[in-house]
Amino acid sequence: MRPLITAFVLSLTFTSAYADDLEDRYFEAQQAFEDNMRNFYSSISPEVGAKFPRMMEDERVRGAMRCGLDFLRAEGGESAAEAMVEWVERAATTPIEEFEDLAGPPSDQVDETLLLAAADACNSIEISMELMEESGFMDAMTSPEVLQKMQEN
């Protein structure tokens, strides 16, 4: 009986450590992806890039990200959460050259229905929109100069 209890405790420890590692990877990759997006928007207009919100500095975003990762684990299994983190890691290191590069993960890698359900359950879209409004990013994106540059891109 004692070996079984020991194995159970060890499995919880390793699962918890893996979960923390996955969250750390997710947050690190998301910060790099945010920087990548800011660089892209700066290439369109320095004003727009400067107003792109610092999402990862906001606890609302970090809470929504934790919620989303937990949702993916609960509803899609550890492999769904891992697939999402791997996609963000790839997106963080891939240069963004046009708006199509911001389309999100391919459905053959991450289940789109599951992602939308996670975003809905965790208020991710609402929080992002609030931050973009608060920072002035949305107003900057709709200026005539920026709209012209976006059409050219």
Q: What does the H/E/C string look like for the chain? A: CHHHHHHHHHHHHHHHHHHHHHHHHHHHHHHHHHHHHHHHHHHHCHHHHHHCCCHHHCHHHHHHHHHHHHHHHHHHCHHHHHHHHHHHHHHHHCCCCCHHHHCCCCCCCCCHHHHHHHHHHHCHHHHHHHHHHHHCHHHHHCCHHHHHHHHHC
111-144, pLDDT tens digit by residue? 889 999 999 999 999 999 999 999 999 999 888 8
Is the confidence at residue 24, as pLDDT, over 60?
yes
Mean pLDDT of the chain: 83
